[in-house]
Structure formats: C-alpha cells, structure tokens
Amino acid sequence: MDASMAYGRLCVADTPAALARMAADQILTWAMETTKPVRVALAGGSTPRLTYQELASRRLIDRFPWQRVHWFWGDERFVPPDHPDSNFRMAREAMLDAAPVPPENIHPVPTVGFGLEEAVSRYENGLRKAYGKAQIACGCPLFDITLLGLGDDGHTASLLPGEPVLDERRSWVAAVSHGRPQSRITLTYPAINASRHIAFLVSGAGKRAILREVLGGHSTAPAARLDPYGDIVFLADRAAAKGTADA
C-alpha cells in the first residue's frame, strides 16, 4: 500500500523482511537517480539493520553503485566504534564489511581520542568538506538520502523530546548529553532538512501509536517537526501501520 498522508507518504510492507526489501529497493532507486556521488545518512537500530543486510545481499550487491556512495551517520552514541551499542559497528557488520565499499567513502562520527564537543566539531567539519560549502545552499542538498528511525516517544536520530538540540538552527551537528544513559552526537534539523529524500523505517506494533500521530500532521514530536528540501516517506510494516490509512 502507498498512500499520501498529512505528513509525508506511507508505504506498507506485510512483514519486517518485506519492509527491508522494500526499503533496500527504494534506496537503490534513489541512488541510481544520478551518476554523481551520492551522500547517505544512516540510521541505527534493528529495523535499519535488516535493510542494510538486504542491500548487501546477493539480490542487490552487484546492482548497487557502491563506488560512488558515501556513508555518513544521522546519530551515534559516544562510544568506541567496536562497542556493541555503536551505530557504526552495526552498519559495518550488516553491510559495509560485506560490500565493495571504498574505505574513503565511509565517514563515521569520531568517538575515540576526542572529547564530546571536539568530536561534534570534527564531524561537522567533515560534513562541510564533503558538501563543499560552509553553509547549506538552497537547491543543493547535503544528503541525497537520509534514513531515520522513529522512537515510541517520537524522537528521531538523537533529536530527543525536551532537549535543547531541538532548538538548534545554526550547527549541523550537536551533542546530546542528557535524556539517555550514553551521550550522543546527532545531526540537527538544518542538516536533516537539507535532504533530497528522507525515509523513516518503522517496524512493529509498538510504533503504531506514534506513527499514526506523526502521519496525522498535528504532532509536536521531534520526528514530526521536519521541513525538508525534498520528500518524506514512511516505510512501515503492517504491524506498525495497522489502523493507518486502512493498512
């Protein structure tokens, strides 16, 4: 099912495995829209993991343009890259180690050898270098594809409810030191909004209420406060989308 909602577009797959295939196919389609380098911001979590595994599967690995896709992260816990909670580690194990990705195309959040604020500055400077401009320019997206999760409290990336990061409008990257056991580094609204395509990956009955709320267009949850350059699509399995647009 594909339906236009008050906030974005909803596409529904029957199962988590079908959702991963749908999401991987959509990412491939977007990556093939151009022959230029493609910048992708990755999400953490179990639902994106299945999508990354699908991209590196035998079905897609030889079709995906690995050589010209550059991988960034929408948020990261401030832990070493080999830590079990590292979003970088998850993406590496699920996809990057299995695919022919040039090492220079991988741009993780630096989390070792620096304090939190210096890590934020280094990651933002890396984004500006990749973008080629000091400021985001109208009509020139920072990311071609941004993948996001949806928390049951309405957070996305590490844009957590009630945190000061929600009001950041100048920096592209910010530290989030409260609200979770581990400090985090996250893209801010200006960086996420500068995306050609944004895809939320949503799975499970536990996300049903917040998905319906956000799609309704009147939510104040962090995930509902995007105003992107391009389009927003919610890719959900039927358990999450049940009761939304007859899903």
pLDDT confidence of residue 23: 98
Q: Which pLDDT does position 11 carry in this prediction?
A: 96
Q: Using one digit for the tens of pLDDT, what is the confidence trace for 15-71?
A: 999 999 999 999 999 999 999 999 999 999 889 999 999 999 999 999 999 999 999
Give residue 5's pLDDT band: very low, low, confident or very high (50, 70, 90): low
CA dist., res. 16 & res. 243, Å (int):
17
CA pair distance 75, 42, nearest whole angstrom = 8
Predicted confidence at residue 245, as pLDDT, reads 59
- Output the pLDDT for position 116: 96
Give 144's pLDDT tier (boundaries 50, 70, 90): very high
Strands (E), the chain: 2-4, 9-13, 38-42, 69-73, 75-77, 143-148, 173-176, 184-187, 195-202, 231-237
Taking residues 219-228, report their average pLDDT: 95
> What is the tens place of the pLDDT at every residue in 150-193?
999 999 999 999 999 999 999 999 999 876 788 999 999 999 99
Is residue 1 scored above 70 in pLDDT?
A: no
Per-residue model confidence (pLDDT) at position 228: 93
Provide the whole-model pTM: 0.96
The Cα-based distances of 144 to 69, 183, 186 in angstroms read: 10, 27, 18
Spatial CA neighbour of 17 closest among 235, 194, 180: 235
pLDDT digits (tens, 9 = 90+) for 103-138: 999 999 999 999 999 999 999 999 999 999 999 998
The CATH number given to 2-186+207-220 is 3.40.50.1360
Q: What one-letter code names the amino acid at 59?
A: R
